[in-house]
A and B are shown apart, each in its own frame.
Chain A
Amino acid sequence: MQKNIEQELHDYIVGNLLFGQGVELRVEDSFLERGIIDSAGVLELIAFIEEKYGIEVENDELVPENLDSIRNITQFLMRKSKTDAVV
């Protein structure tokens, strides 16, 4: 399941935020440090995961520890799934 989520996130980011351009995106790449996704992109990404995985991201969860890489988001989703049982 983790691999699936990582792949889905990767495809969404490449197709909708990077438009197929730029660097090869690895699961551990920091969006902020590498300038891969800007802050508006992060909000789009949140909208995507909320819709796709049926969760709600709370304001206090909008932190890099949860959202700054494909891996962080995946782990965040897995953690949420344990509490919300939706993923």
Chain B
Amino acid sequence: MAKGNEPVFKWSLGLIVGVLFCMGKAFADPVMLKPPQLLLAMQQSMASLNYHGTLAILKNAKLDTLQYFHAVQKGVEQERLLSLNSPLREVIRDVDAVSCIYKASQQVVIDHKPIGQSFLQALPEIPAVLDSSYDLIAEGDEHVALQPVDVLLVKPRDQFRYARKFWITKQTHLPLKIEVQDFTGETLEQIIFTDLRVVEQLSSVAVEVKDKKVQHIHQFDDLGLDKLPLQLKHLPVGFEKRVFTRMHLHPSDKAVEQLLLSDGLSSVSVYLEKNPQNFHAGLQTAGAVNSLSRVIGDYSITVIGDVPAATVELIVQGISFSKS
């Protein structure tokens, strides 16, 4: 540094330290929304803003990086993922289907869904539904990717579901980082935006099927909850029946019935399959997902979801067929 610049440098350094001190003091005590307001603001921002960025997803000890786009046009959301690593693919989530376009094989798989759930995190339409089973805890502020964030922990009141931790930007209220944690606080899954941009306009993309092999999977019939032939005696607090459908499994084309349960954050499916083949009645685990099966008469019952093993076990044990 030139000698003559030293006083200016010292002056600047002093001022910068002063400014940082003042700002640090101002944010030393968490000046943030209350936890329910923060959750509502995050839900509203996630659903209504146009944004895109690079997403790092850590699941089952594997790291994937994807380009993420969220567009809203006339109130209709669309999520789009572009893989940055092989196999190169584009995944588009519309309201009622997830379309996966494979670049190499020029194949399109359209996976029909009864309920649209964000790739980032499913959130309840009414945050108050979480009150019965979760505590919302503000954990102060931090920085993620150089952006100031509020930290919100959604902590379960029992051991039948996982905790979620959100790092929410102060400016836009979008989540920069989301963690799924078990009851000991160990991280099971992590999603981080390494960069995130909010833009005024972002066009939705139509799934291009021309000159491609198109396959529709999981097309379903909504049977209605009143047609449910099962009784669930042991349902953890907060879990509600959402939809009961019949679909054909991919790729075996076997007909199964699916009951979807949710507590607002965690979801569980109960599958009912007649005369299953090569069936194991037992527990299977992959990361945060657990599945447990049992056989009742000619039917196999499988409970699967992003919940602890204790939850699928509790639900399976309480299932019986209705007398009617």
Whether both chains belong to one complex is answered with no
